Structure 1
Amino acid sequence: MGSKKRVFEQAGVLFEAHLGLARSVIFDSLFAREKLGSTGLGQGVAIPHGRIKGLKQAAGAFMRLASPVPFDSPDGRPVNLLFILLVPEQATEEHLQILSELAQRFSDRAFRENLQQASDVTAVISLFQA
């Protein structure tokens, strides 16, 4: 994909197709949040997130990129594992709880390695459900 911008554009397409949300709204929300500071965690992981007006419940998507993209992560490493999180505009506690749980999962080296090696969607889903 090449850049954060392309990743956010692709996330917009994905959420538009599956949730009927306008891709421009998704892109703008993710980009606005990213301007406040990188959502890159390090170790090749990022959790871009944004608030979406009219969204009824949190929604997320996992992306594994074939080629890592620069993400201004604390360790300087490019990112190829991303979990994009969208939350309702007024979500606060739930939003923080989900982010905390995701960050904790991604801090586990074995979890990251298993995601890198997962061969299909079913394998990825079972890793997140474990």
Structure 2
Amino acid sequence: MTTLPLGPQHILIDPPVADAGAVLEALAALLAESTGQSPALIAEALKSREAQGSTGIGHGVALPHARIDGARDVAVAALRSAQGIPFAAPDGLAVRVFIAVAVPKSAATAHLEILSNLAVRLASEEVRADLLNASESTGFFAVLTDSD
């Protein structure tokens, strides 16, 4: 898999989030340092993107993403929820694995490449199961970034 701008410190395992808004706010806080933008601005961009259509891709996975004015770098963050969060996924399943991507407005190609690579990786039932079974962020990171 293409190297992701992601480290274990950008992954939350089972935080106390109860709804989609709380998930997006938690992810925005993780993305803020890498982008140089405020968590509030990133959360608003992620929520605005969700308003256009759910980024849930099915099988309990969502890829919230946004292009951010003034972002200095591409950033990726992840959150796994202990319970499923309703997220308007096409299969109707609640989402437990969220991988968020924030990119500068000028990074359209990188944006699409990261989303495509993540979608391919997360299409694997084995990968999804391993992400759900990871007991800590380092294990989640290893599963998500393993190049097989």
User: TM-score w.r.t. structure 1 length?
Assistant: 0.92
SS at match of 1:7: helix
Deviation (angstroms), 1:21: 2.6
In structure 2, how many angstroms separate the alpha carbons of the residues matched to 1:75 and 1:98? 23
Deviation at 1:38, TM superposition (A): 0.4
1: distance between equivalents of 2:86 and 2:127?
22
Find out whether 1:68 has 2:60 as its counterpart: no
Mapping of residues 1-130 of structure 1, within 5 Å: 1-16=17-32, 18-19=33-34, 20-130=36-146
Distance in 1, Cα, partners of 2:60 & 2:144: 17
Question: Which consecutive segments of 4 or more residues in structure 1 shift more than 6 A?
Answer: none
Unpaired runs of 5+ residues, structure 1, are: none
Work out the CA distance in 2 between the residues paired with 1:57 and 1:114.
29
Q: Which has the higher contact order (CA 8 A, sep 6+)?
A: 2
TM-score (normalizing by structure 2): 0.82
The Cα of 1:40 is off from its aligned counterpart by: 0.2
Paired residues, number:
129
Q: Percent identity?
A: 36
Unaligned runs of at least 5 residues, structure 2: 1-16
